[in-house]
Amino acid sequence: MPSKPRRFPSTSQAGFTLMELVITTVILAILTAWAMPNFRDFMRRNNVTSQANNVLADLQNARTEAINQRKLVSICPKSSTSTDADTTCVVGSTNYDGGWLAYTTIGAGTAYAAGTSGYDLLHAGAGSPSVSIRSDQGVFTFNSRGELSDQLQHVINVCFKSTSGQAGAGSSTATVQGKTIIISPTGRAIVQDLAVGGACAPGTT
C-alpha cells in the first residue's frame, strides 16, 4: 500500500501591503513632526542650564580659592570673538558670550596679566554660540574672606540666542526660559529662573 506524502507546515509569511506601508509612514511622519520641536526646545533649555551651571561653578571655585589662598581672585569676560586659547580680558565689557577667565590678582577689578607676578590663571571658561551671558558688571573680584570686593549684589543672566552667534543678548521665553545668577555681597551665588520676557542683559528693559 503506497504511503501518503508527508505534509510540512507552511513557513511563508504575509508581507506588508502597500496601504499598510503608506499608513505607517504617515503616522511616523506625524509623530516626528510633533516630537522634533519638543526635542529641540529640550536641547536649548539644557544648553542654557549647562552654561549657567558652568558660570556658577567658576564663581564658587573662585570664591573658594580666594579664601584658601588668602588672595584676591577675579573673573573677567573675554572678547566675544576670542579663541579658546586667548587669555585677554575685556575689563569694560559685561558681555561674557566669548568665555571668561578666573585668576588671582593683585588688585580688584584689574585684568589678567599673563606672566606678571601675582597673576595666576586658575581656569578659562568657554562660551556657547547659541547662549548669551550678560552681567551688570565687567570684573568680579573676591577678597580673602570670599566676599565681593565692592560689597554689592550682582547678577549674570544666561539666555538662549535665536540666531547662533548673534551680537545681541538672547531672550527668555516660555519654551526656553533663561537663568539668572545672583551673587550676594558675601560672595555666595545661586541660580534662579529668569522671568519669561525678562531682560537678558541686566540694566535693560
Across 15-31, b (16+ Cβ under 10 Å) vs e yields: eeeeeeeeeeeeeeeee
Q: Name, in order, each residue with C-beta under 8 angstroms of 61's C-beta and a sequence gap of 6 or more.
A: 102, 122, 123
- According to the model, what pLDDT value does residue 19 have? 74
| DSSP-based three-state secondary structure for 97 | coil
Give residue-wise pLDDT tens across range 108-141: 999 999 999 999 999 999 999 999 999 999 999 9
Cα-to-chain-centroid distance, residue 38: 19
In the chain, % of residues over pLDDT 70 = 85
> Closest Cα partner for 91 from 83, 79, 104?
79
Domains along the sequence of the chain with CATH: 19-193 (3.55.40.10)
- Going 199 to 169 to 194 to 72, the CA torsion angle's sign is negative
Q: How confident is the model at residue 14 (pLDDT cuts 50, 70, 90)?
A: low
pTM of this structure:
0.81
The pLDDT of residue 12 is above 60 = no
Count of all residues that appear for the chain in the document? 205
Instruction: Give the contacts of 151 (CB within 8 A, at least 6 positions apart).
Output: 185
Report pLDDT digits (tens) over 49-95: 999 999 999 999 999 999 999 999 999 999 988 888 889 999 989 99
